[in-house]
């Protein structure tokens, strides 16, 4: 088909064109003026004809393109005037709106903020410190002897040739507070800590702690027990009770492990509490006088207590999480369970 015949065919198609919807108009526009449309292809062919044909057909070609655009505009105006401009299926205005999913807080900061909130309401402030610590703040000032097993490479991630380490507890923050503050001191130290341990359902190389410290005149073990009893009842409910078992920590004397009556079975015995009715939640004790002296506080005048808990352990009891690794795997099926959970400040 010659160029003249193709022009005539397109002109005839423009005259016959109709459209009932905006979608019909768009299909017609693409068929004529799109990248592979009839008019566009015609102009591509026009480039290859002789100079005599270009002079004869040039004006007609330009008029054809203007006519095609004019026909598209006319069809679009007609569709809009008829009220049939909707493309595709009609919208059902009675259908419920699609609600985009909301994100939520991770269970660890949820629980950490709840713990911080409880202690803040009874007068504890919040202290933070570096995650890479020197030997003095991480071990020495806490009464760890040079040959203590916690200094061994199997427990600690050492950096800088062994002079510094990723902190193994947030007790290092308490040392900094005691060195730079005068009693009375009442502070908690939430944050990440690191242990060189194999990752399993019950252990991880990185986890979170909240540790507390209270130093003042005439602070007693009874004050410690009363504080921790208030904490557990505030977090788990008024029906829970605590007990303390003798233990050992280099920086407290006397020291104790704190057990709570199992909140899952009510103390009757279950898999969580190993059918004992009790679950361990933290360690605590009276601050060793040697630690106070190292930090520049007179142990003859002041005494204090300290405690520390693992946030993952507390979250495990609150939300019945069976495997600590779930906290780190970013599985949406797990995290969706906490969408909308309130963070208490």
**Band of residue 120 on the pLDDT scale cut at 50, 70, 90:** very high
SS3 at position 233: helix
Mean pLDDT of 178-192: 95
pLDDT of residue 281: 92
What residues does 166 pair with on adjacent strands?
132
Q: Does position 32 have pLDDT exceeding 80, yes or no?
A: yes
Backbone Cα Rg of the chain: 38
Altogether, the residues listed in the chain come to a count of 345
pLDDT in tens, 230-272: 999 999 999 999 999 999 999 999 999 999 998 777 778 777 7
pLDDT in tens, 190-229: 999 998 888 877 778 889 999 999 999 999 999 999 999 9
Mean pLDDT of 99-115: 84
pTM of the model as a whole: 0.67
Name the nearest CA neighbour of 209 among 135, 306, 121, 136.
306
Rounded Cα distance between 111 and 235, Å, is: 9
* Residue 302 vs residues 93, 104, 116: alpha-carbon distances, Å: 72, 44, 25
- DSSP structure string for 157-210: -EEGGGTEEE-SSTHHHHHHHHHH--SSEEEEEEEEEE------SS--SEEEEE
Would you state the torsion angle of the CA atoms of residues 27, 28, 34, 40, taken in this order, to the nearest 10 degrees? 160
pLDDT of residue 276: 86
């Amino acid at each position: 088909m010659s160029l003249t015949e193709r022009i005539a065919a397109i002109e005839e198609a423009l005259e016959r064109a109709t459209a009932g919807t905006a979608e019909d108009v768009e299909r017609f526009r693409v068929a004529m003026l799109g990248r592979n449309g009839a008019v566009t292809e015609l102009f591509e062919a026009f480039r290859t004809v002789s100079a005599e044909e270009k002079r004869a057909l040039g004006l007609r070609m330009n008029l054809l393109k203007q006519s095609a655009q004019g026909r598209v505009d006319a069809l679009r105006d007609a569709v809009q005037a008829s009220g049939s401009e909707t493309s595709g299926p009609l919208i059902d205005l009675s259908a419920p709106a699609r609600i985009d999913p909301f994100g939520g807080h991770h269970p660890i900061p949820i629980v950490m903020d709840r713990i911080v909130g409880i202690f803040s309401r009874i007068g504890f402030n919040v202290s933070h410190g570096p995650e890479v610590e020197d030997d003095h703040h991480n071990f020495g000032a806490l009464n760890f002897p040079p040959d203590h097993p916690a200094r061994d490479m199997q427990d600690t991630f050492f950096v800088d040739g062994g002079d510094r380490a990723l902190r193994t507890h947030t007790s290092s923050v308490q040392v900094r507070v005691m060195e730079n503050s005068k009693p009375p001191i009442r502070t908690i130290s939430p944050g990440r800590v690191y242990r060189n341990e194999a990752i399993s359902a019950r252990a991880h190389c990185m986890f979170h702690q909240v540790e507390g410290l209270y130093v003042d005149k005439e602070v007693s073990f009874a004050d410690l027990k009363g504080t921790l009893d208030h904490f557990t009842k505030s977090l788990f409910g008024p029906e829970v009770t605590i007990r303390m078992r003798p233990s050992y920590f280099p920086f407290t004397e006397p020291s104790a492990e704190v057990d709570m009556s199992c909140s899952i079975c009510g103390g009757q015995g279950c898999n969580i509490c190993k059918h004992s009715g009790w679950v361990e939640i933290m360690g605590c004790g009276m601050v060793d006088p040697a630690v106070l002296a190292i930090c520049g506080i007179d142990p003859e005048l002041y005494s204090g207590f300290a405690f520390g808990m693992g946030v993952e352990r507390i979250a495990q009891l609150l939300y019945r999480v069976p495997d600590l690794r779930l906290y780190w795997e970013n599985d949406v099926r797990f995290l969706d369970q906490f969408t909308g959970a309130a963070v208490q400040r």
